Structure 1
Amino acid sequence: MEPKTTERHTRRTLINFLPDNKNLTLLISGMAITNLTFQFFSFSLPIIIYNFANSVFAMSVMRAIQFIPNILLGLFIGVIVDRSSRRKLLRNSAIVQLFSIVIIIFLIITNSLSVWFLYIIGFFLYSASYAMGNAYHAIIPNIVKKEMLTSANAKISFLNTFSNIIGPSLAGILFAYTNEVINLSVTMTGFLILIFLLSLMKLNNEEDSPKERNKSNKSFKNDFTEGYKELFYNKPLWSLTLNILITNIASSLTGAVLIFYALSNIGISKSQLGIVVAGTAIGGLCSALIAKKLKLYRGKLFVFGIFFMFISQVILYFSFNWISMFVAMFIVGISSTQINIHYLSLRQESTPNHLLGRVAGTSSMIMKMAVPVSYLLAGILGELLPIRYIFLLSAGVIILALLRSIQKRIHLIS
C-alpha cells in the first residue's frame, strides 16, 4: 500500500503545480519555454562580443544596455500596458525579439556584424523583453485569484530558475558541437512557440485588459503621474522599492566582475565556473519551492533576505576556491528569489489592476536606474583595484539597505 500512497501524493503534487486554468497553463508554458530558450541567446552573446571585441569593457557596456530600456522607457511602457490588450502586447513583444534574433543571425552569416550593431539590436530586443515582462506581470492578476498570487509567482519563479539552471548547460553542450548561430536558432524557435501558444488563449475583455482602460481619455503625462502617485502613496511598496534599488546596485557591482574574478584570481576551471554560476539558480530553485511555506511576515522576510545577501558578499571577499564561491552564490539565489517573489505578490495584491502596468514600470525603473552605472563603475574599478574589494564595496552598500529596513520597521501582512 505504501508505494500507491507515494504515487498518489506525487500525482497530487504535480497536479497542484500545474494550473487548472487553460489560459494560465498556455501562458506559463509559453513563457517558460521562451525563458529556457532565451538562455541560449544569453550564453552566446558574450562569446559573440568576445570574438568581435575581446574586451571586458565591451561586455560591461552590453550588460548596461540590457537595463537602459527599463530606465528610459519604463514609464512609457507601463502606460502602454495599462492601455492595451496585454495578450497582444505579449505577442508583439515576442515578434520584435524574434526579428531581432533573425537579424543577428543574418549579420553573423554574412560577416556583417559589429559590436555597435549588437548594441543597437540589443536595445530593441531588451526593450521588447521588458515590455513582455511588464505585460506578463500585469495580466497574471486578471486570470489568477488574489489569494493564489503568491503561489502563482512562486511557480513562475520556479520555472524561470529551472531554466536558468539547465539552459546554460544545454546551450554549452550544443555550442560545443555546433556554433552560436545554432544556439540563436533555438532562441528563435522559443519565440515562435510562444507566439503560437498565445494565439490559443481565449480571454474575455476583463481577463485581457485593465477594467478601466476605456473609461479614461487622460494624456500620457497624467497617466505617468497617476502611476507614480499610486506607487509613492503605497508606503510599504515604495519603501521596499527603494531597498531593492540599493541591493540591485550591490548585485550589479558583483555580477560585473564575478566571472572575471573566478577565472583570473581564483583560477577555477570552466567546469567549476559552471557550478559556481549555477549556484544562484539552485538557490533560487530551493527558495521558490519554500516561498509559500515560510511562516514569517513579509517585512521580516525582506530583512532576512537582505541580511543573507550581505553574508554572501562577505563570503565572496574571503573566497579562495570554487566551493566557497558556490556557497556565496547559493545564498544569493535563496535571498534574492524570496525578495522577488514576495515583492511581486505585494505589488499585484496592493495595486489596482488598471494601474498595475504603470506601477510596475515606475517601480522597475526606480529599482534598476543605477544598474547600468554600477556595471560601468565595476568595469572601471576592476582595472584600478584588486577585484575582491568590489565585493567588499557591495557588502557595504547592502548594509545601507539592511539598516534602512530595520529603521523603517516594515511589517507587511503575510
Structure 2
Amino acid sequence: MPVPNHTPAKKPELHENMSIWRNRPFLVLFFTSTFIACGAKVYELALPLILYDMTQSPVAMTTMKSIEFLPNLLLAMFIGVWVDRFSKKRWSQWMVFGQMVLLFLLYGLTESGHAQVIHYYVAGFFLMAFNYGFHNARVSMIKQVVPTPLLTLANARFSFMGTFIEIMGPAITGFILLLSTLHTGLLITGTAYLLAFIAISFVDRTDAPAPSQGGFWQELRNGWKELLGNRPLWQITVLVIFLNATSGMYDAMIIFFAKDHLRLDNSTLGLVLSVAGLGGLLGSSVVAYLRRRFPIGRIMGMTILLLGCSYLLMVFAQSTWMLCPSLFLTGLISTIENVCIWTFRQETTPAHMIGRISGITGSIFKLGIVFSIYGSGWMTLSFGPWVVFLAAAVGNLVVFLVYRRLALWKLA
C-alpha cells in the first residue's frame, strides 16, 4: 500500500484509543469484565482437572464441556429477548450474583467431601447460563455507549484483556495447585464475581429498555425477521456453527492430549496453555489495524483457512515443543476471527434489537458444538486424539470453500 495512505492511518488510531478510555460506561464495563475474566480463567482450568482427577476419563471431561455449551444452545435466544426488555444493569447484577452463589456452594460441597460428578454437571450448566446472560447484556451496552467507528477497537480491548488473563489464569492456577487443593480455584472465582457484582453498581443507568413491540414471542419473531433480512450476517451465522464445532473438538482434546499422551503435570500444563493466550494478545493488538487495511470479509476468510492449518499441526504433535506452535497460532487467529464476527454483528444490527440478535445467533452458533465435543471423546477412545485434530482441520477447509462460494470474501 502506498506510504501516503499508510501514514495518516496512525492518527485516527491514537484518537480512537483516547476516546475509548475516556468513555466512563466503557471503563466500568471493562473493569467489571476483568474481574469476571480473572475468576473464570481459574475456574475453567480447575474444573476439568478436578473431573479428570475424580474419573480419569476423557468422556467425563468432554461431557462437562458439552454441558457447558447447552445453555447457549437452548436458552440464548430467550435470554436475548429478556435483555432487550429489562434494564441491562440490573440484569447483569443478577447474572453475576447467580454465578457467585453457585461457585461458593460448589466449593462448600467439595470441601465437605459431598461433591459428586453430577454436581459439577449441574453447576456447569447454570454457571454458563448466567455467564451468557451477563455477556449478552454487555454486548448490548457496548453497542449503546460506544460510537460505531470504535466498535472494532472496543471489542479488541475486551479481547486483549481476556487473552491477557488467559495467560495469567493458568499460571495462577498452577501456583494454587502447589499450595492448596484443586477446588480452591472455585473459591477464588467466587470472590472475583463478588468484586464484579460491586463494580457493576457503578454503571450509569442509561440503558432504558426498548419499547415493547408486543408480547415475548412477537419480539422473538421480530428478532428472527431482522436476522434473516440481514443475508450476510445470516450466512456467517450458519458457517459459525461448523467453525465452533471444529474449534470445540480441538479445545476439548488439548488438555486430555497434554495430560494423557505428553504426561504434563498440572503446573507445566498451565504454562503451556498460556501460549494460546500470547497468540490471543497479539491478535487483539493487530485486529483493529487489519480492519483498516483489509475488507472484513477477506480477514474472516483467511482466519478460517489458517485455523485449519493450526489444527493440522496437532496431528503431528509428539512433544510439548510441537504443541506450543499450534496453541499460539490458534490463539492468534481465533481472536482476530472472533473480534471481526462480533463487530460485524454489532455494526449491522439496530441498537434496540442487539440483545435478540446476539441471543439468536448465540444459540445458532452452538448448534453443532455440543455434539462435536461429546463425539470427540468417543473418537479419542476408538482412534486416538490425532483423528479428532485431523477432523477439525478438514472441517475448517470445507467451511472455507463454502465461504468463498457464498462471496462473503467480498464483504467490505
The code of the aligned residue for 1:370 comes to G
For residues 131 and 195 of structure 2, the distance between their equivalents in structure 1, rounded to whole angstroms, comes to 16
| Backbone CA RMSD of aligned residues | 2.1
- Using the TM superposition, name which of 18-27 and 283-292 deviates more: 18-27
How many Å separate the matches in 2 of 1:250 and 1:413? 24
TM-score by length of 1: 0.91
Please state how far the C-alpha of 1:312 moved relative to its aligned partner.
0.7
Give the stretch that moved more between structures: 300-309 or 384-393: 384-393
Deviates more, 1:140-149 or 1:181-190: 181-190
Equivalence for 2:208 = 209
CA–CA distance in structure 2, aligned partners of residues 328 and 169 of structure 1: 19
Q: Tell me, yes or no, if structure 1 residue 303 matches structure 2 residue 305.
A: no
Matching of residues 155-304 of structure 1 within 5 Å: 155-204=157-206, 208-210=207-209, 213-216=210-213, 218-267=214-263, 273-294=269-290, 295-304=293-302
Deviation at 1:271, TM superposition (A): 5.4
Contact conserved, 2:298 with 2:411, CA < 8 A, in 1? no
Aligned to 1:9: none
The code of the aligned residue for 2:92 comes to L
Secondary structure of the corresponding residue to residue 227 of structure 2: helix
Which of these residues, 392, 396, 399, is aligned with residue 398 of structure 1? 396
The residue correspondences of 1:9-408 to structure 2 (distance < 5 A) are 16=18, 19-204=21-206, 208-210=207-209, 213-216=210-213, 218-267=214-263, 273-294=269-290, 295-408=293-406
| Greater mean deviation of Cα atoms: 320-329 or 257-266 | 257-266
For 2:95 and 2:160, locate their aligned partners in 1 and report how far apart those are by CA, in whole Å. Answer: 23
CA apart distance, 1:320 = 2.5
Offset of residue 167 of structure 1: 1.0
Identity of aligned residues (%): 27
Q: Distance in 1 between matches of 2:123 and 2:307?
A: 33
Q: Which runs of 5+ in 1 are unaligned?
A: 1-11
User: 1:309 offset after TM fit, Å?
Assistant: 0.7
Identify if the C-alpha distance between structure 1 residues 272 and 109 changes in structure 2 by more than 3 Å, giving closer, same or farther. closer
In structure 2, give the amino acid aligned to 1:180.
Answer: L
**How far apart are 1:230 and its partner, in Å?**
1.3
The answer (yes or no) to whether the contact 1:316–1:388 under 8 Å persists in 2 is yes
Count of aligned pairs: 398
Consecutive unaligned residues in structure 2, runs of 5 or more:
1-13
User: Residue 131 and residue 254 in structure 1: after superposition, are their counterparts in 2 closer, same or farther (change >3 A)?
Assistant: same
**2: CA distance, partners of 1:265 / 1:238:** 40
Q: CA deviation at 1:237?
A: 1.1
Spell out, residue by residue over 1:4-63, the C-alpha distance to the aligned partner (whole angstroms, 9 max, x if none): xxxxxxxx8997496112222111101112101222212221232234333221111111
Amino acid at match of 2:278: I
Distance 1:341 1:124 in 2: 26
Q: 1:109 to 1:21 in 2, by over 3 A?
A: same
Aligned to 2:11: none
Give the Å deviation of 1:179: 2.1
TM-score, normalised via structure 2 length:
0.91
| Structure 2 residue matching 1:351: 3-state secondary structure | coil
